[in-house]
Structures are given as C-alpha cells and as structure tokens.
Amino acid sequence: MDSTFEGSERLYRAVYPPSHPGLFWKKDGKISPAAFADPHGFSVERGFYRKPEEIVEKMKKTFSGCIVSLSVQNCRDVNAVVKYLPSSTNEYHSEIHSSDTVVLLNKSQRLYLAKVINKEYMEE
C-alpha cells in the first residue's frame, strides 16, 4: 500500500451516533459540518480495495457510533488533500487535510463534505 489514492476510493470515519444531536448531527438526521473539524487532521480509514462490509465490521470492533464514508474525489472536489498516514495499529489510517500545509478543513470544505457523506452503518 502506498500514498496513491484513486478518486473512486472510499474513506470511512466513525462518528458519534445521532442520539448525540448536539455534537455531530443535526436534528433532521443529517451530519453536521462540525463532524469534520479536527485540528489534528480528520482521521479516516481508507478502503483500499476492501469490501465496504468488511471495513464496517472491522471498525465496529474498535469504534462506537455510526460509520460514514466519502470518496477521495469528494475531497479533491474541494481541494482537500488525502494523506496516507499508517499508524502502528492501523495500516489503513489516513487523514484529510485542508491543503498540503494546513491541517484543519476550512468551513466551505466541511460544508461540502457533510453534504456528500454516505451513511454506511447507523448505531442508535
């Protein structure tokens, strides 16, 4: 695995469930752009040719909440940069940054990504 990302590759993220509407979900059930605000880098699990079901099951063992996904192309549409940053415990760990030099996604990037996110698994 390397730092090459195809536009169609999916990126997955666990988010607290909608039962916590004040945090990352709006009252209408849509994800809030605040869910994408992480000053340390928006951590994601890259798909890398794995089946979505396999990724969701793996993530459910480690994270609580809901699992959402978006594509690398969604990130590129707003000039966000996807970086492959494997950790000692997760070879698929990656991050979405605002640019090559700025980590925190800007407001317009967060708004757009919140609109295009897919709900893969919803914990109540």
pLDDT at 123: 75
pLDDT at 21: 58
If one compares 124 and 70, the residue with the highest pLDDT of the two is 70
3-state secondary structure the chain: CCCCCCCCCEEEEEECCCCCCCCCECCCCCECHHHHCCCCCEEEEECCCCCHHHHHHHHHHHCCCEEEEEEHHHHHHCCCEEEECCCCCCCCEEEEECCCCCCCCCHHHHHHHHHHCEEEECCC
Q: What is the pTM of this model?
A: 0.92
pLDDT at 17: 72
Residues 18-57 have pLDDT tens digits of 666 567 888 888 899 999 999 998 999 999 999 999 999 9
Closest CA to 47 of 81, 65, 15, 70: 70
Cβ distance 18 to 81 under 8 Å? Answer: no
Domain ranges of the chain: 10-121
pLDDT at 18: 62
**Element spanning 121, H or E:** strand 118-121
Q: Reading across the β-sheet that carries 10-15, which strands appear in turn?
A: 81-84, 93-97, 42-46, 10-15, 66-71, 118-121
